[in-house]
Amino acid sequence: NQREQARALGLAPRWAEVSKAYADVNRLFGDIIKVTPSSKVVGDMALFMVSNDLTPADVENPDKTIDFPESVVQLFRGDLGLPPDGWPKALQAKVLKGRPALSERPGKSLPAVDLEAARSAAEQAIGEELSDRDLASQLMYPKVWQDYAEHVKKYGDVSRLPTTTFFYGMQEQEEISVDIDKGKSLVIRLQGRADADDSEKLFYELNGQPRAVRVDKAGAKAAHARPQAADGDADQIGAPMPGMVSRVAVKAGDTVRKGDPLISLEAMKMETVIAAPRDATVKQVLVASGVTVAGKDLLVVLGD
């Protein structure tokens, strides 16, 4: 999974740096027990450090402002549990930026849930009935489940595809068989492709019948040149890594205080909330929700 994240972020050629950063993050976090999901958080931070050319000294420096990935904030807040000896105090204070941390098992303070009311609200949100399994997934992982439900609604049940096809696509002249129902299979062969700037036209056979489809390249429409945040300009807030803007919390003219959220950026299930580095007025917002950006693309301009 970490390798797939590195590929998506364009860091595959820097895997050796990512591996070293993983060890550095493990030390910074206090050599925590690494199981899912704590190992993912360590990986998120390692990828974040390499994407932003951060050293362990940068992370520990209390005077260097860093918008930590949301998974790291949740870890140090105690959402995943509390280590026996606690978190490194100085780093926890830097990550949480004054927000309170939990002092007990997170599940202990969870409010009771009206299951039927929750089921009804979730079904209304997606326009489909939920099974008990879907409801449990939605309650435990609301954002991940919402993304999954929207993906299934748009593309269908892609779990029927072979894993390598889902992650890497098909090679020319490759043939796969997809079981769509009991006793029903689709035989798909990719014959060739014609490349364009923003899309590809794919020529394929479906059970021996020739077909063609044009597919937009992921992020191509949003990848055209965007202004870059100028290095050293504290008023220009750039993207710390490539990803998709999942939420815009401000608009031009808003007054923000240091630490207020400006933009939420998501890449391969790793969410980063970009906060205001100082008290300021929002002068310009250059992105909207759903837009794909590259690293260092200009997101927000602040004024006095």
What's the predicted TM-score (pTM) here?
Answer: 0.71
Strand partners, 179: 185
pLDDT for the residue 1: 67
- Interval 3-26 mean pLDDT: 82
Rounded Cα–Cα distance for residues 129 and 114 (Å): 17
Does residue 152 surpass a pLDDT of 60? Answer: yes
pLDDT for the residue 114: 94
pLDDT for the residue 225: 66
Residue pLDDT, tens place only, 47-70: 999 988 999 999 999 999 899 999
Rounded Cα–Cα distance for residues 164 and 294 (Å): 26
Rounded Cα–Cα distance for residues 5 and 288 (Å): 23
Q: Is residue 176 within 8 Å of 165, Cβ to Cβ? A: yes
DSSP 169-220: -PPTT-EEEEEEETTEEEEEEEEEEEE-SSEEEEEEEETTEEEEEEEEPTTT
Pairing outcome for strands 199-206 and 184-195: antiparallel
What's the CA dihedral at 47, 52, 54, 60 to 10 degrees?
A: -90
Q: Other C-beta atoms within 10 Å of 63: how many?
A: 5
98 — alpha (psi -120 to 50), left (phi > 0) or beta? left
Residue pLDDT, tens place only, 155-173: 888 989 999 998 888 999 9
Rounded Cα–Cα distance for residues 175 and 132 (Å): 36
- Interval 90-110 mean pLDDT: 91
Residue pLDDT, tens place only, 176-202: 999 988 899 999 999 999 987 778 899
Per the prediction, the chain carries an average pLDDT of: 89
For residue 65 the two structure tokens come to 């402002």
Residues 6+ apart with CB under 8 A from 101: 76, 77, 78, 87, 92
- Interval 211-221 mean pLDDT: 77
- Interval 211-230 mean pLDDT: 75
Which region among 178-192, 213-227, 274-288 has the lowest average model confidence (pLDDT)?
A: 213-227
Q: Is residue 262 within 8 Å of 275, Cβ to Cβ? A: yes
Local confidence band at 209 (pLDDT 50, 70, 90 cut-offs): very high
pLDDT for the residue 283: 95
Does residue 220 surpass a pLDDT of 60? Answer: no
DSSP 16-64: HHHHHHHHHHHHHTTS----TTHHHHHHHHHHHHHHTT--HHHHH-TTS
Q: Tokens 């929700």 map to which residue?
A: 289
pLDDT for the residue 148: 85
- Interval 119-127 mean pLDDT: 87
Which residue did the predictor score with more confidence, 101 or 125? Answer: 101
Rounded Cα–Cα distance for residues 36 and 27 (Å): 18
